[in-house]
Chains A and B, each alone.
Chain A
Amino acid sequence: AQSVTQLDSQVPVFEEAPVELRCNYSSSVSVYLFWYVQYPNQGLQLLLKYLSGSTLVESINGFEAEFNKSQTSFHLRKPSVHISDTAEYFCAVSGRGNQFYFGTGTSLTVIP
């Protein structure tokens, strides 16, 4: 079975500062890893994913995440956040069995 831990439930950060949202997973099989973003009163949107290949993956709006197999982590980072990045972020793991397991989410608040 798989599980996902997001240790930080809330992360406040000043505008233009860097941010890291932490995600650790447990799995006995090879996994696919995902980050989703949810803006207020909306559904979840895929932000980025790791399926195979390069362990560093990037999104179109400046976020990146690195798959670290030895530490079973997939932390999300951005070097400079904007007000518009304020949202809930969810890490998810799929064990190729077509079932997804989600973390409890991290609420990112960007402070002007």
Chain B
Amino acid sequence: DAGITQSPRHKVTETGTPVTLRCHQTENHRYMYWYRQDPGHGLRLIHYSYGVKDTDKGEVSDGYSVSRSKTEDFLLTLESATSSQTSVYFCAILSRDDEQYFGPGTRLTVT
């Protein structure tokens, strides 16, 4: 357990509404990541952060934005949710031993 929490754990929202998912860590790790998990695709990187206010895009970043104003929090925002963004979202941190540890996930349904 690397002290990672995600909120909310489940969310149902309507197409076109904004949604923000939160990842919180308690161990001051520099790197944080957002992935989405879909059947047949495994985990795909959306965005990652390498420090406060330092972020970069992953392979599926379109339609998503992120912010990191504090070391412990990494926010993922869907500006205008679409049905294709229905997925399970996982946050992860990079430990000092170069291992990734994952949060429990957020199941998002866009209707």
A→B interface (CB under 8 Å): 6, 9, 32, 34, 36, 42-46, 49, 51, 90, 92, 94, 96, 98-105
Contacts and interface: CB of A to CB of B under 8 A. Distances in A.
Interface residues of B, number: 23
Most chain A beta-carbon neighbours within 10 Å: one of B41, B42, B101, B103: B42
Contacts of A99: 45, 48, 58
A94 B98 contact: yes
Given A6-B42, A46-B99, 9 more contacts: A9-B40, A34-B99, A45-B102, A98-B50, A98-B94, A99-B48, A103-B42, A104-B40, A105-B42
B102 A44 contact: yes
A6 B42 CA distance: 10
Contacts of B35: 102
A54 to B, nearest CB: 16
B31 interface: yes
A94 B94 CA distance: 11
Contacts of A42: 104-105
A51 B100 CA distance: 13
Interface of B: 31, 33, 35, 40-45, 48, 50, 58, 90, 92, 94, 98-105
- Chain B interface, >50% SS class: strand
Contacts of A101: 45
Contact of A51 (B42, B44, B98): B98
A90 B98 CA distance: 17
A103 B103 CA distance: 19
A104 B48 contact: no
A46 B41 contact: no
A90 B42 contact: yes
B102 A43 contact: yes
Most chain B beta-carbon neighbours within 10 Å: one of A36, A49, A90, A100: A100
